[in-house]
Structure 1
């Protein structure tokens, strides 16, 4: 039975004169088998550095600002544990999510099958078209050991209406692009909603979106 998730939090900027720019906060979860590089992807995106995968205990949390032409988006990134013993509690972390990255290792066929199982779990929790889902084939730096072809993964993604991208947290290949694709998809989804169905401004959002000036400058440059 499908369950409806929480609407994104939004606030309109306040300043001199009229403004159409909006601020949104979206929850993004990373799901996948252990050692596929979920933590490395999150760390590379937020810290612009590479860290070898270390098993996540429960869940790790990151935030990052994305500055688009008409909106500022704060991504709350939840990196979930991939070990089987944590599977029963993972639904607590992806509850009320707005987007999900289903990560697998292109050099390990079994992790691709596991990503498909995660998709089934999400389909039980969310309404169709309610969650932006990106299928991510990580570790393109191990292309010589590839067990999942680009064509196979892309075909599956298309059959399920998912975004598909391949990355390498180690070489920093398309990591930022994945999160930018999520930001654009979420904003497009927001803009397509009927005005009456859009959430009311969440007053605390504007306070929560305040970041050190150097971080804000960096996100806007990217």
Structure 2
């Protein structure tokens, strides 16, 4: 069985580099949201098409995770802009992006405690903007940048994720560790939930996942 992500959308930061030769997002909104960026990839021959969102504070590595996953590239110089998250004027736009998502990935930086402490705010946003308060979507917590010196322990993050009924993975876009696992685990959980598969008929864009285990990477640096 082949399955795919239709749109991987990140919130919380803007990217200084636009995706290479990518088409417009399938989600239509009156004006572009500056902190919600789709990454569709052309493909065909799959059974399901999923919409996944990556959310979290600016600078936690969402852009780097997406580039590693979609293009298998990493850019040390990738810059981010300060987000305008939780602002009233973006409420309508934000709601349109959450609508129809089968999976939501919350990302924090293991080397920045504030990004972990802000997860409660992000989860509140999910509950406000997602249909059924986010109860009907697969949610996964990612501790990114594990190649750096951490200030948030794995145990603490695992306990938080467990208390919220979420999956948990640690990753590094720099070394590739955990990146494939993030998306494979979300997709696997979606496939196990028939209710989430009702609107995943194939279209013409996505990122094919073959379910193969990734190889562990090495090295250090930021991600």
TM-score, normalised relative to structure 1: 0.64
In 2: Cα distance, 1:99 partner to 1:201 partner: 12
1:198 deviation in Å? 6.6
Gaps of 5+ in 2: 7-44, 213-223
- Identify, as 1 or 2, the structure richer in helix: 1
Question: Residue 193 of structure 2: SS of its match in structure 1?
Answer: helix
In 1: Cα distance, 2:48 partner to 2:96 partner: 22
**Which residue of the other structure, out of 164, 181, 186, is the alignment partner of 1:182?**
186
Aligned counterpart, 1:162: 166
**Which residue of the other structure, out of 75, 79, 83, is the alignment partner of 1:54?**
79
Number of equivalences:
163
CA contact (8 A) 2:113 2:151 kept: yes
Structure showing greater radius of gyration is: 1
Alignment RMSD? 3.0
Aligned counterpart, 2:64: 40
Q: Structure 1 residues 189, 123: closer, same or farther in 2, change over 3 A?
A: same
In 2: Cα distance, 1:153 partner to 1:170 partner: 21
In 1: Cα distance, 2:52 partner to 2:156 partner: 25
**Which residue of the other structure, out of 162, 176, 186, is the alignment partner of 1:172?**
176
Q: How does 1:1-222 map to 2 (within 5 A)?
A: 23-52=47-76, 53-55=78-80, 83-84=83-84, 87=87, 88=90, 89-124=93-128, 125-127=130-132, 129-142=135-148, 144=149, 146-190=150-194, 193=195, 199=198, 202=201, 205=202, 208=204, 219-220=209-210, 222=212
Gaps of 5+ in 1: 1-7, 10-20, 57-81
- Identify, as 1 or 2, the structure richer in strand: 1
CA contact (8 A) 1:39 1:54 kept: no
1:200 deviation in Å? 7.3
What whole-Å deviation, never above 9, does each CA across 1:139-184 have from its counterpart, x for those lacking one?
A: 0001x2x121111111010011000111001111110011000110
